[in-house]
C-alpha cells in the first residue's frame, strides 16, 4: 500500500450531493439550533471529539431519538476511566421502536434472496405482524427484559424478525451463523445462558445443502438454561426436531398490538463475540442506547442513508456487519439480504442483485472486491443507476481495488472504506459525503471518535506509521464482557498498553488531509531490523502479481535479535513456484516499497487460513511457527477453513 495517495482524487462529491447530504443538514441544524459554524469537516470533527456532551446530545436531538423518560446528564465519567462511563442517565429507549417508526406501506421493509430463493419482498405490514407474533410467543415463554434469546440462523428475514421481537421485549439478542462448528457455538452461547434458542435445520452454500439437525440436537442438549426451542425449516420445509416448536406455528401466535418495552440507555442490547482465535471468544456486550445513537450517527450522518434507500451489506448472522446492516432500518432504509456464496452460480451474483433490487448502498468485505478483480469479473451492460455508495470493510482495501471499482463498476460512485470492529459494532473511520475519495485511503475519522496514531513513546503523530488508539470514550463501546469478573478481560483487551486509552491493535497513518491508511494488525505487524511494516503493504504488492491469488506473511523473532520473515503464497491454477516467480514477487515488493519488504523465503500453500469473518489468521500462524501447540494457537470452530492450519502444523520448523 502506497504511503502517499495520488493528489488527484478518484471521486469528488458534486455540490448538489454535498448540499443534500445528511451531514450538511446536520451542520446547518447545528448553526440554526446551536449557533455553531464549522468551516469544514475537520473543524466539525475537532468539535465533536472536544465537546463530547454537546456533540452526542446534538446527535440525539438531530436524529429525534425517542426516550420514554427524561435524561439528567449526557456523560458521567469517573477518574478518566473508559470502563463504567455512563451516557444519558435516566433515559429509557427501545431500539426496535426506532426501526418501526419508519414503517411505510409504500415501500418494502426487507428484500431478500438466497441460493434457493429468487428475490422477494417483505412488507412493513407483514414484518410488524411477524415480529408481533414472535414477541407474543417469547412473552408466553416467560421471556422478560434482560433474558437472552439466541439464534443459529441463515441471513434471511427470520433472523431480523427474531432480533426485533426479542428486542421489543427488552431481551438480549445473540446469533451465530449455521456454518459455525457446534463447539464454537457452545463456546459463545454457554457464556450467556440463553432462555430461548431459534435454529435452522441447515443452510445452502456454493450450491450445496448442509444439514445441521444433528448439530442442533447436540447444541440443545448442552444448553441447560433453555426453556423453549424453535425450529426454522430452511433447507427442508418438512424438517422437524423433537421437543421444539415450529417457526410456522410461532408466527400464528395471536397478539393485539406490537408493543415496545423501554429500557435504560445502558441496558444490554446484544452480545457479539471476538473471533476467538485463542481461548474462548469474548462475549462483548453493547448497550441499547449506545448502539442506537452510534448507528444513527454512522448510517444517517456518515453513510448518508435516507428513508426509502435500499441498503445491502454481504454478511452472515455471525459477523457484526449483520447487526450494522440491520441498523440501516433506523435511518428508514429497506434492508436487502443475501444468503449464500458470493461466487455461486457466478461471481456476478451480488452485482446482479444490486441491479435487480435497485440497491443504493452496496457493501461487502475487501476480499470480495479483490476476488472480483482477480477473476476479471465483467460488469459491462450493468447500469447501476441507483447505486450511490459502495462500502468495504473486513481488511484494508488496497489502492488497486479502489481503482478497479472506479474503472469497472461505476465511475460516479462514493467508495466508503470502513474500519471498526465487533468491539463497538460500528466504525472508527469511514466515509464522509463532503470529502473526496483518494486511492487506498479511508476518508475520515468519524465524528465523536477521538482516534490518533501513537508512536513508540505514546505521542500522537501525523504522516507516520503509528498504533491506532482512541483517547475518548464512545457510547457504543462495550458496557462489559459477559461474565467478566472485575472487567479483567475487558481491561486486558484494550487498556494494558496505555492507561485510560483504548488501543485497538491496528497500525495506521493519518495524513495531512485527515485521511487514514491502515497497514494491518499491530499484533501481526512485521519487524525488520526495528522497522515496522504493515502486512497490508505486503499483500497489496504480492497479490498484484497475476500468478498469485492469495498470500500470508509473518515475522518470527529469533535469538540474538534476528528476524525471519517467510511469505506463503497461493498460486493461480496451473502456476508453479519457480525461482523466476520468486524473483518476480521479490522485485515487486522491492520496487513498490523497500528491500525490507522482501521476505527471507517464499513457500507455496493451497489456502490461507481465515476466520469466519474473513480475517487472515496471521497471529495464530506465527504462534504455530514459533512452536506453540496448534490447538492452543487457534480455535478451529472460529475458522472458515480449519484444514488450512494443517499446513503450518506440519511445516518443517527446520526451514524457519
Residue 62 reports pLDDT greater than 70:
yes
| Sheet strands (E) in 34-140 | 73-76, 86-89, 92-93, 108-114, 120-123
pLDDT at residue 395, rounded to an integer:
80
Distance of alpha carbon 333 from alpha carbon 307, whole angstroms: 5
End-to-end, the C-alpha distance of the chain in Å comes to: 27
What confidence tier does 525 reach under pLDDT thresholds 50, 70, 90? Answer: confident
The grid coordinates listed for 593 are 516499497
Predicted pLDDT at 529: 63
Q: What is the mean pLDDT of the chain?
A: 93
Contact 538, 529 (CB under 8 A): no
Which residues have a Cβ under 8 Å from the Cβ of 139 and sit 6 or more positions away? Answer: 169
* pLDDT above 90 coverage of the chain, percent: 80
pLDDT at 560 over 90: no
Residue 520 has pLDDT above 60, yes or no: yes
Which pairing describes strands 516-521 and 334-339: parallel, antiparallel, or unpaired?
unpaired
Of 536 and 125, the structure prediction assigns the larger pLDDT to 125
Task: Render pLDDT for 410-463 as a digit per residue (tens, 0 to 9).
Answer: 999 999 999 998 999 999 999 999 999 999 999 999 999 999 999 888 999 999
pLDDT band at residue 1, thresholds of 50, 70 and 90?
very low
**pLDDT > 80? residue 145:** yes
- Residue 543 C-alpha cell reads as 497479490
The pLDDT, as a whole number, for residue 281 is 87
Res 655 pLDDT > 70 = no
Question: Has residue 275 got a pLDDT over 80?
Answer: no
- Phi, psi angles (nearest 5°) of residue 192: -110, 0
The percent of residues above 70 in pLDDT, for the chain, comes to: 97
A 10 A CB-CB count for 616 gives 22
Ordered by start, the domain boundaries in the chain are 534-655
Does residue 350 sit in helix, strand or coil? helix
Measured CA to CA, the distance from residue 429 to residue 511 in angstroms comes to: 13
Q: pLDDT tens digits for 608-643? A: 999 887 889 998 898 899 888 888 888 888 788 989
- The yes-or-no verdict on residue 653 having pLDDT over 60 is no
Which cell numbers hold the place of 245? 416448536
pLDDT in tens, 124-141: 999 999 999 999 999 999
pLDDT score, position 228: 98
- CA–CA distance, 526 with 530 (Å, rounded to integer): 9
- Separation CA 632–CA 610 (nearest Å): 16
Query: Which CATH fold would you assign to the domain 534-655?
Result: GMP Synthetase; Chain A, domain 3 (3.30.300)
Predicted confidence (pLDDT) at residue 526 exceeds the cutoff of 90: no
Residue 292 has pLDDT above 60, yes or no: yes
How big is the chain by its Cα radius of gyration, in Å? Answer: 24
Secondary structure letter of residue 432 according to DSSP = -
- 2-16, 194-208, 366-380, range with greatest mean pLDDT: 194-208
Residue with the larger pLDDT of the pair 504 and 4:
504
**What pLDDT score was predicted for residue 260?**
98
Q: Is the pTM of this model over 0.95?
A: no
d(CA 220, CA 210) in angstroms, rounded, equals: 18
pLDDT tens column, 364-422: 998 899 999 989 999 999 999 999 999 999 888 889 999 999 999 999 999 999 999 89
Judge residue 37's burial from the number of C-beta atoms within 10 Å of its C-beta, 0-12 exposed, 13-18 middle, 19 or more buried.
Answer: exposed
CA distance 533 to 589: 12
In this prediction, residue 4 carries a pLDDT of 47
Centroid of chain to Cα 177: 14
Higher pLDDT among residues 638 and 90, named by residue: 90
Distance, CA of 486 to CA of 460 (rounded, Å)? 30
What per-residue confidence (pLDDT) applies to 634? Answer: 84
Amino acid at each position: 500500500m502506497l504511503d502517499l495517495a495520488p493528489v488527484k482524487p478518484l471521486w469528488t462529491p458534486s455540490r448538489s450531493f454535498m448540499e443534500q447530504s445528511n451531514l450538511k443538514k446536520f451542520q446547518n441544524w447545528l448553526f440554526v439550533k446551536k449557533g455553531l459554524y464549522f468551516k469544514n469537516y475537520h473543524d466539525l470533527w475537532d468539535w465533536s471529539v472536544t465537546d463530547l456532551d454537546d456533540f452526542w446530545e446534538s446527535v440525539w436531538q438531530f436524529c429525534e431519538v425517542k426516550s420514554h423518560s427524561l435524561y439528567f446528564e449526557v456523560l458521567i465519567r469517573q477518574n478518566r476511566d473508559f470502563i463504567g462511563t455512563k451516557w444519558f442517565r435516566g433515559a429509557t429507549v427501545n431500539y426496535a421502536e426506532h426501526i418501526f417508526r419508519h414503517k411505510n406501506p409504500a415501500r418494502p421493509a426487507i428484500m431478500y434472496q438466497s441460493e434457493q430463493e429468487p428475490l422477494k419482498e417483505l412488507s412493513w405490514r407483514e414484518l410488524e405482524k411477524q415480529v408481533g407474533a414472535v414477541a407474543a410467543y417469547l412473552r408466553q415463554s416467560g421471556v422478560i427484559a434482560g433474558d437472552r434469546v439466541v439464534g443459529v440462523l441463515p441471513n434471511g428475514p427470520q433472523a431480523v424478525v427474531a432480533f426485533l421481537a426479542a428486542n421489543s421485549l427488552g431481551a438480549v439478542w445473540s446469533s451465530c451463523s449455521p456454518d459455525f462448528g457446534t463447539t464454537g457455538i457452545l463456546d459463545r452461547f454457554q457464556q450467556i445462558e440463553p432462555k430461548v434458542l431459534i435454529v435452522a435445520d441447515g443452510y445452502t452454500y456454493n450450491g450445496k445443502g448442509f444439514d445441521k439437525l444433528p448439530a442442533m440436537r447436540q447444541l440443545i442438549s448442552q444448553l441447560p438454561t433453555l426453556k423453549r426451542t424453535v425450529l426454522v425449516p430452511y433447507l427442508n420445509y418438512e424438517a422437524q426436531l423433537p421437543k421444539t416448536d415450529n417457526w410456522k406455528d410461532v408466527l400464528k401466535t395471536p397478539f393485539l398490538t406490537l408493543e415496545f418495552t423501554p429500557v435504560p440507555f445502558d441496558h444490554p442490547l446484544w452480545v457479539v463475540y471476538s473471533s476467538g482465535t485463542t481461548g474462548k471468544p469474548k462475549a462483548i456486550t453493547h448497550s441499547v442506547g449506545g448502539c442506537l445513537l452510534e448507528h444513527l450517527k454512522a448510517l444517517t450522518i456518515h453513510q448518508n442513508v435516507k428513508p426509502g434507500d435500499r441498503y445491502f451489506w454481504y454478511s452472515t448472522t455471525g459477523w457484526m456487519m449483520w447487526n450494522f446492516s440491520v441498523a440501516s432500518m433506523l435511518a428508514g432504509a429497506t434492508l436487502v439480504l443475501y444468503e449464500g456464496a458470493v461466487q455461486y452460480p457466478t461471481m456476478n451474483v451480488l452485482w446482479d442483485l444490486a441491479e435487480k433490487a435497485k440497491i443504493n448502498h452496496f457493501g461487502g468485505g475487501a476480499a470480495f472486491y479483490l476476488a472480483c478483480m482477480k477473476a476479471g469479473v465483467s460488469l459491462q451492460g450493468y447500469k447501476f443507476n441507483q447505486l450511490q455508495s459502495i462500502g468495504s470493510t473486513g481488511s484494508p482495501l488496497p489502492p488497486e481495488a479502489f481503482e478497479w471499482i472506479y474503472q469497472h463498476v461505476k465511475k460516479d460512485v462514493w467508495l466508503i472504506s470502513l474500519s471498526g470492529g465487533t468491539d463497538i459494532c460500528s466504525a472508527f473511520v469511514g466515509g464522509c459525503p463532503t470529502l473526496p475519495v483518494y486511492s487506498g485511503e479511508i476518508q475520515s475519522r468519524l465524528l465523536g471518535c477521538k482516534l490518533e496514531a501513537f508512536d513508540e513513546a505514546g505521542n500522537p503523530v501525523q504522516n507516520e506509521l503509528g498504533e491506532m488508539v482512541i483517547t475518548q470514550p464512545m457510547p457504543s463501546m462495550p458496557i462489559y464482557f459477559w461474565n467478566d469478573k472485575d472487567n479483567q478481560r475487558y481491561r486486558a483487551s484494550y487498556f494494558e498498553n496505555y492507561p485510560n486509552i483504548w488501543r485497538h491493535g491496528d497500525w495506521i497513518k493519518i495524513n495531512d488531509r485527515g485521511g487514514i491508511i491502515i497497514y494491518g494488525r499491530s499484533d501481526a505487524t512485521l519487524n525488520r531490523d526495528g522497522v515496522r511494516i504493515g502486512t497490508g503493504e505486503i499483500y497489496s504488492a504480492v497479490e498484484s502479481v497475476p500468478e498469485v491469488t492469495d498470500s500470508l506473511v509473518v515475522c518470527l523473532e529469533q535469538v540474538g535479535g534476528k528476524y525471519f520473515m517467510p511469505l506463503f503464497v497461493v498460486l493461480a491454477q496451473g502456476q508453479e513456484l519457480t525461482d523466476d516467480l520468486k524473483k518476480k514477487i521479490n522485485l515487486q515488493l522491492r520496487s513498490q516499497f523497500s528491500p525490507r519488504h522482501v521476505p527471507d523465503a517464499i513457500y507455496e500453500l493451497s489456502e490461507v487460513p481465515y476466520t469466519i469473518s474473513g480475517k487472515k489468521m496471521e497471529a495464530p500462524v506465527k504462534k504455530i511457527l514459533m512452536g506453540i501447540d496448534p490447538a492452543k494457537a487457534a480455535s478451529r470452530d472460529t475458522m472458515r477453513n480449519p484444514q488450512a492450519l494443517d499446513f503450518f502444523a506440519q511445516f518443517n520448523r527446520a526451514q524457519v
